[in-house]
Every structure is written in C-alpha cells, then in structure tokens.
C-alpha cells in the first residue's frame, strides 16, 4: 500500500504569525494533529503539531502571544505519494516524529500520520491472523 492510499488530503495550511491558540483551534475544529506552516519569507514549509503546542503551553508560554513561527519544525522530512507505507513508517521511526507532509510537484497534497498507517495495516493484520487460524 502507498502513502497516497493512506494520507489525509485535508491539509491545514497556516502562517507563521498565527498564535498557538489560533493554530490549536483550527486543528481541533478539523480534528487533525498537525498543520503545515507556510512562510514564503523564510523557510518555506514547516510543520506544527499538537505536541509542539502542548509542549509550549506546558512550559508556561502564553498561547495567545506565542506564534507558530517560534514552534514550527523547519527541518522537515517530506514523503512522496508513491512511497510505500513501510518507507513512511521507517522515516517516522528513524526521525522520531508522527507526521509527514506529502509533496508532489505542485506542493503539499496531504499529510500521513502514524494513525493513518495503523488504520491501513490493522485490517490486513486481522485478515492475516484470522486466516492463520487459532494458535
């Protein structure tokens, strides 16, 4: 199975000047765990995750004053739609992160998460176990 089969095509793109609270509200409303941060003046594309927001708030930073630019990961590993789920999972495990922005020639086309991969693999695992019979 390929990344294009598992990825979410709902890509929330926000700017570097959004506050953490604004980012959290937008992510929560869409029930997603990451947003693409687009900053054409500096790094281009980055990612902010629910974990980044949680860490900032947990350390006492004000979510109404802190902007996404200060909490965006800019050293991003991107996936291609034609990657296998194994390649995506390996990149996530190696890098220690749970989301990959999926790029094609025109820009971001999706985000794939660990949860997306598990959703794809779990039904296959159940069929494999069921076909093998009782242990």
Q: How confident is the model at residue 134 (pLDDT cuts 50, 70, 90)?
A: low
Can you give the pLDDT at residue 90? 97
- Name the token pair of 50: 């629910």
- Position 106 scores a pLDDT of 80
Rounded to 10°, the helix 85-95/114-132 angle is 120
Based on the number of CB atoms within 10 Å of its own CB, is 47 exposed (0-12), middle (13-18) or buried (19 or more)?
buried
Instruction: Quick: pLDDT tens for 48-59.
Output: 999 999 999 999
User: Helices H, strands E: what count in the chain?
Assistant: 5, 6
Query: pLDDT tens digit string along 62-99?
Result: 999 999 999 999 889 999 999 999 999 999 999 999 99
Question: Distance of alpha carbon 134 from its chain centroid, rounded?
Answer: 37
- The DSSP bridge pattern shows strands 34-39 and 44-49 to be antiparallel
Binning pLDDT at 50, 70 and 90, where does residue 43 land?
A: low
- What is the pLDDT, as a whole number, of residue 44? 85
Checking if the pLDDT of 118 tops 60, the result is yes
């Amino acid at each position: 199975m390929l990344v294009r089969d598992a990825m979410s095509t709902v890509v929330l793109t926000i700017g570097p000047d959004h506050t953490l609270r604004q980012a959290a509200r937008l992510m929560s409303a869409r029930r997603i765990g990451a947003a693409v941060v687009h900053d054409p003046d500096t790094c281009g594309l980055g990612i902010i995750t629910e974990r980044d927001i949680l860490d900032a708030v947990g350390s006492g930073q004000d979510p109404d004053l802190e902007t996404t630019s200060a909490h965006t990961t800019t050293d991003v590993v991107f996936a291609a739609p034609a990657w296998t789920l194994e390649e995506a999972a390996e990149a996530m495990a190696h890098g220690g992160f749970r989301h990959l922005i999926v790029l094609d020639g025109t820009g971001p086309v999706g985000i794939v998460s660990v949860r997306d991969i598990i959703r794809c693999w779990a039904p296959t695992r159940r069929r494999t176990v069921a076909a093998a019979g009782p242990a």
